[in-house]
């Protein structure tokens, strides 16, 4: 009798364990266990991914649109940038957000020290990046981007990861690149491949500005061709891809869809887009942000009056989503779990 009970017990245990494994696999193919070994690299150093908290994944503290030939730290006063942008970041913190990803790349106004100071003043987990911005008809690319190979560009970006940015000890938390619309130009393809090569050497996530279907699919193809799994790729401005079939094709491949154009006038549109994406089963691939800010280098006082706040998601979008019946658990997934997974430094090979 004892033997029979023991056998039954073992059988039940096996069935239970198998069910658990199946449930985990069904949940999200790429779901990684939360572990203190998973880190996110902030401007103040590594933190456990589980400490990132509620996060805005695509914002800008400062931009300089003068172009790679002109941009220089002599064009702005860092104290003025910090003083101007501090209240905007404090507003983020006051609303319970703790993660803030600054997507301004090098040659477009990236200043790691400004972000480091703001992180210290607000206690936000701020991320900066390595990589180059190929959109804007190559205006923001330094001259060496045209002459060097993808391997040489990747070596520059890997060096920032290993040694720090611009003579500081501050490390990038991700790779920010960008491509023009339409089929990838030769240089844009090189930049995407350089980003993939950098990922393979660092585990940093690739965040790519695309903005329309053809460019996004071209980026996906080139990232994969280098042996990188699409879960290491965030498709920036995915909310600008009109055809849901393309968005879902990207998500199905494993890429992240970043709906980052949230603003007061777009709430209704974004509620629809988010609900449509959840219904299609891609909530685990979705990221939200404002693409807002920023201190405008070259304009008096950084054009204070034109700076867009980073608070529309908390003040308008979240309440609107709740009104349609979206649960706290889903919001937690979109604003906490997904950002932590997306920005965890981790090698993702095909």
Residues that bind Zn ion (CB under 5 A): 103, 291
* Backbone phi, psi, residue 209, to 5°: -70, 125
Give the pair of three-digit tokens for residue 43: 């401007």
End-to-end CA distance of the chain: 51
Which residues partner with 129 through β-bridges? 174
Positive or negative torsion for Cα 215, 221, 223, 229: positive
Q: Indicate the residue whose CB is closest to Zn ion.
A: 291
> Rounded to the nearest whole angstrom, what is the least distance from the CB of residue 136 to Zn ion in the complex?
12
Q: Considering beta carbons, is residue 43 or 103 the nearer one to Zn ion?
A: 103
> Rounded to the nearest whole angstrom, what is the least distance from the CB of residue 149 to Zn ion in the complex?
27
Q: For residue 169, give every residue at least 6 positions away whose Cβ sits within 8 Å of its Cβ, in sequence order, or none.
A: none
Q: For residue 85, give every residue at least 6 positions away whose Cβ sits within 8 Å of its Cβ, in sequence order, or none.
A: 61, 62, 114, 118, 293, 294, 295, 302, 307
> Rounded to the nearest whole angstrom, what is the least distance from the CB of residue 99 to Zn ion in the complex?
16
Single out the residue of 58, 114, 135 nearest to residue 297, CA to CA: 114
Q: Considering beta carbons, is residue 39 or 343 the nearer one to Zn ion?
A: 343
> Rounded to the nearest whole angstrom, what is the least distance from the CB of residue 103 to Zn ion in the complex?
5
The continuous run of DSSP H or E covering 329 comes out as helix 328-332
Check residue 169 and report its DSSP letter.
S
> Rounded to the nearest whole angstrom, what is the least distance from the CB of residue 27 to Zn ion in the complex?
31
> Rounded to the nearest whole angstrom, what is the least distance from the CB of residue 58 to Zn ion in the complex?
6
Q: Considering beta carbons, is residue 237 or 284 the nearer one to Zn ion?
A: 237
* Backbone phi, psi, residue 343, to 5°: -100, 5
Check residue 105 and report its DSSP letter.
P
Q: Considering beta carbons, is residue 197 or 270 the nearer one to Zn ion?
A: 270
Q: Considering beta carbons, is residue 103 or 179 the nearer one to Zn ion?
A: 103
Q: Considering beta carbons, is residue 136 or 298 the nearer one to Zn ion?
A: 136
> Rounded to the nearest whole angstrom, what is the least distance from the CB of residue 258 to Zn ion in the complex?
10
Q: Considering beta carbons, is residue 103 or 206 the nearer one to Zn ion?
A: 103
Q: Write the DSSP string, 76-97.
A: S-HHHHHHHHHHHHHHHHHTT-
Give the pair of three-digit tokens for residue 347: 């090698």
Instruction: Determine what percent of the chain falls in helix, strand and coil, rounding each to the nearest 5.
Output: 50, 15, 35
């Amino acid at each position: 009798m004892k033997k029979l009970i023991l056998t039954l017990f073992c059988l039940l245990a096996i069935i239970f364990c198998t069910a658990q494994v199946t449930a985990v696999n069904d949940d999200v193919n790429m779901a990684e266990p939360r572990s203190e070994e998973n880190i996110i690299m902030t401007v103040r150093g590594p933190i456990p991914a589980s400490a990132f908290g509620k996060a805005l994944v695509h914002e800008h503290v400062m931009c300089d649109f003068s172009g790679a030939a002109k941009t220089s730290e002599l064009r702005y006063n860092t104290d003025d940038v910090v003083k101007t942008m501090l209240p905007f970041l404090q507003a983020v913190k006051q609303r319970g957000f703790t993660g803030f990803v600054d997507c301004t790349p090098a040659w477009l106004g990236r200043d790691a020290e400004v972000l480091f100071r703001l992180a210290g003043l607000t206690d936000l987990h701020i991320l900066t990046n390595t990589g180059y911005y190929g959109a804007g008809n190559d205006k923001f690319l330094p001259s060496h981007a045209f002459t060097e190979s993808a391997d040489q560009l990747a070596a520059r970006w890997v060096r920032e990861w290993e040694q720090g940015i611009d003579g500081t000890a501050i490390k990038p938390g991700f790779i920010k690149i960008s491509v023009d619309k339409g089929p990838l130009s030769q240089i844009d393809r090189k930049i995407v491949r350089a980003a993939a090569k950098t990922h393979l050497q660092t585990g940093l996530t690739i965040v790519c500005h695309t903005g329309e279907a053809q460019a996004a699919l071209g980026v996906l193809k080139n990232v994969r061709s280098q042996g990188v799994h699409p879960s290491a790729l965030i498709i920036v401005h995915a909310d600008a891809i009109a055809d849901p079939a393309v968005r879902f094709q990207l998500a199905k491949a494993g890429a992240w869809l970043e709906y980052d154009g949230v603003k007061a006038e777009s709430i209704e549109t974004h509620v629809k887009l988010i609900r449509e994406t959840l219904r299609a089963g891609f909530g685990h691939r979705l990221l939200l942000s404002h693409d807002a800010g920023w201190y405008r280098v070259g304009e008096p006082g950084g054009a204070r009056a034109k700076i867009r706040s980073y608070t529309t998601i908390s003040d308008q979008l979240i309440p609107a989503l709740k009104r349609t019946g979206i649960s706290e658990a889903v919001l937690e997934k979109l604003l906490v779990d997904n950002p932590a997974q997306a920005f965890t430094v981790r090698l993702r090979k095909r």
